[in-house]
Amino acid sequence: MIFPRFRIKFVTHSINLYNSYSATAQSKFPRRIFSGIQPTGQIHLGNYLGAVSQWVKLQQNNEDMILSIVDLHSMTLPHDPKTLPNSILEMTATLLACGIDPSKVILFQQSMVPAHTHLSWCLGCISTMARLAHLPTFKEKSANLKDVPLGLYIYPVLQAADILAYKATHVPVGEDQTQNIELTQDLARMFNNRFGETFPIPHCIYTGSEFSRLKSLRDPSKKMSKSDPDPKSRICLNDSPDDILKKIKKSVTDFTSEVTFDPDKRPGVSNLISIHSFVSGRTVEEICGEVQNVNTGKYKLQVAEAVISHVQPIQKRIDDLMSDEEYLAKVLKMGAEKATEISENTLDEVKRKLGLQFRIKSAHQQKINV
């Protein structure tokens, strides 16, 4: 995979953010990164460049990293139980195809590790309804629902449990996700204050600011999103070459034929240049210099060619991996075993501090004490 110079610099800067974490905290809570991704919905270029490729970079830096396919989160809104198992395997294959190495990081399926839901209940008991109701994601997703599922309301607590179960010190996020991490920080502080120091206060690693430039192909005033009802608004990693070409050809630009980069005045064509830059590894300046005499119609063909060239090897690897579902299941099982060992230690500590565990002295010990 290609990482342009400015992208490497950005990730390195992010890593430096948590190198400054206090020496005392580092010794008590060794640096550990946690992140998760829902199995439903296809990974689009924004997800891939803003999250997955950054995980690969952190992995290459030999970070202690835990990645979860958070299938329980995919149930907060109605889902199809017949397609979910395949979605989990396909997401696993996609992450591996993008460069995630299960021998270097822990990759597992969330629902295979019981500590997530157990810790979520413990944290839920110190959460407040008012705090959860003010989270922006809940407001956004519940706005058009007549009956709001309880899971949608309390999923941020489960998200906090996902992170705190591993005593993660850092979480890679986009800048629009900070409020959910702030809830995790608040719950960690509350638990520590009430029951004794147990959790580190996780810090954000901002990996998405440069990729916020990736906008919807149909409405460049909005970011590219898998929740957009228009599938033509995004380029997914599993899109066929024909689909990619059609989407880019129909992308909204403007009436100026010249190719110039001006996100404020020309968001549509600037979005195409950003996509081109990210998948090719060339700078915006280099690209604009090369296409001075090319109109936007012909330029779209160049962008489509660059995107297709970048995603086709990933697609081939996904297809190969999906032909061996037994291997994918084995990867998730091995990851779950490692994740369970870590999270159960955390949960045991939490249960002791909450008074949910007690130690019965043996008869021999009782005699000695007497």
Domains observed in the chain: 5-212+326-354 (3.40.50.620), 222-321 (1.10.240.10)
**Residue range 13-33: average pLDDT?**
59
Please tell me the predicted confidence (pLDDT) of residue 196.
96
Please tell me the predicted confidence (pLDDT) of residue 362.
64
Please tell me the predicted confidence (pLDDT) of residue 7.
34
Percent with pLDDT over 90 in the chain = 71
Judge whether residue 210 has pLDDT over 90. no
Judge whether residue 229 has pLDDT over 50. yes
Which residue among 104, 226, 232, 353 is the active-site one?
Answer: 226
Please tell me the predicted confidence (pLDDT) of residue 28.
87
Three-state SS letters, the chain:
CCCCHHHHHHHHHHHHHHHCCCHHHHHHCCCCEEEEECCCCCCEHHHHHHHHHHHHHHHHCCCCEEEEECCCHHHCCCCCCCCHHHHHHHHHHHHHHCCCCCCCCEEEEHHHCCHHHHHHHHHHCCCCHHHHHCCHHHHHHHCCCCCCCHHHHHHHHHHHHHHHCCCCCEEEECHHHHHHHHHHHHHHHHHHHHHCCCCCCCEEEECCCHHHHCECCCCCCCECCCCCCCHHHCCECCCCHHHHHHHHHCCCCCCCCECCCECCCEHHHHHHHHHHHHHHCCCHHHHHHHCCCCEHHHHHHHHHHHHHHHHHHHHHHHHHHHCCHHHHHHHHHHHHHHHHHHHHHHHHHHHHHHCCCCCCCCHHHHHHHC
Please tell me the predicted confidence (pLDDT) of residue 228.
87
Please tell me the predicted confidence (pLDDT) of residue 22.
46
Please tell me the predicted confidence (pLDDT) of residue 176.
66
Please tell me the predicted confidence (pLDDT) of residue 148.
80
**pLDDT-derived band at 77, boundaries 50, 70, 90:** confident
247 is known as an active-site residue: no
**pLDDT-derived band at 143, boundaries 50, 70, 90:** confident
pTM summary value: 0.86
300 is known as an active-site residue: no
At 152-168, the pLDDT tens digits run 889 999 999 999 999 99
Which residue among 57, 215, 223, 300 is the active-site one?
Answer: 223
Please tell me the predicted confidence (pLDDT) of residue 123.
97
246 is known as an active-site residue: no
